[in-house]
Amino acid sequence: MKKIARSEVNVGSLLESGFAFNYDDLTLVPRVVSTLQHRADARPEIRLGPFQLALPLIGSPMPDVCGEKMCQVLSHEGALGILHRFQSIESQQHEFELVHYQDDSENSVVGAAIGITGDYRERFQALYASGCRLFCLDTANGAHLQVKQAMGWIRGQASDVFLLAGNVASAEAFSALEEWGADAIRVGIAGGSVCETRSETGVFLPTPYAVAEAAIVRKRALIIGDSGVRTPADFCKLLALGADAVMVGSALAGTKEAPGHIIAMDGKKYKAMRGAASFSVQQQSGNASPGYVEGTETLVPYRDTVTAVLHRYLAGLQSSMSYMNACTLDEYRHNVAFMLLL
């Protein structure tokens, strides 16, 4: 059984420990008396560019996670969906418009992913013309010159867009993207359930540790914790460590709103879950014969609706905040104490 190391009480000392801690190595400790009457008094709202989110959760732009239906529900529940780019420009533009204009009274909360090579310029222009103002530059290695060049080109086209870039897994890479002009940065590499970067390349840093590094050096860009979130507890830990919002994929996959058909096997129901660098997704993106695969494909149990998942994550976060006597996320981070489980 792991023991608690009582000396680790803040993010700085956690990093100084030299131990690259992961989700299960870390616990949150309440050291304050709570005055909240109910967990609903906790309001984890954030401002993300043009959007106000009631739930700091972002649906990952994966082909089996964020399609039109998923983005619609995420918007309705106060979260954010980012439409995946593994489809034609026309298809992505059409799906964006269906989500963006679903409510006659106001535009819905939704963003769109584009690449940094190939058709990204045409894709950006089409989506921008349809009203998109939040773009995710979706690539495995965010600390790359091509990301800088893509951001520079986009800024030259429009001054009113919010750019989410990444992924990165170190303080140095985070600072580089921040200097290049990213408004928000995805932090986390190789921690996802369908990512094989760690086993194929040796590149990996636990997302909680990477988020803590980014929080120490961050000057202005928002931190989006991204990779390996399995439960509301993981979600809470990233926010407590300094993430402004958390991107999730597998937690949303398998629900009724996720893209893809239901697969029946041995009397049970499943949906597909594929990594962005998996064989079939590369084929779907136009690469008929992928020469290198860095993502896997699996089946996840079918769940009825994503609304139940979102409500669980919100309730878990609000309850965690109530333990820390926190009405806001700023208060949450100020009041929380950390300990390592060694």
Give the catalytic positions in this structure: 195
Residues comprising the chain, all counted = 342
The answer to whether residues 191 and 207 touch, using CB atoms and an 8 Å cutoff, is yes
Q: In terms of Cα–Cα distance, which of 116, 112, 129, 120 is closest to 68?
A: 112
The rounded distance, in Å, linking the Cα atoms of 286 and 119 is 11
The answer to whether residues 163 and 137 touch, using CB atoms and an 8 Å cutoff, is yes
The answer to whether residues 126 and 89 touch, using CB atoms and an 8 Å cutoff, is yes
The rounded distance, in Å, linking the Cα atoms of 249 and 274 is 10
- Locate all alpha helices (DSSP H) within 137-278, ordered by sequence: 145-157, 171-180, 197-201, 207-217, 232-241
Letter string b/e over residues 155-189, b meaning 16 or more CB atoms within 10 A of that residue's CB: eeeeeebbbbbbbbbbbebbbbbbebebbbbbbbb
The answer to whether residues 85 and 114 touch, using CB atoms and an 8 Å cutoff, is yes
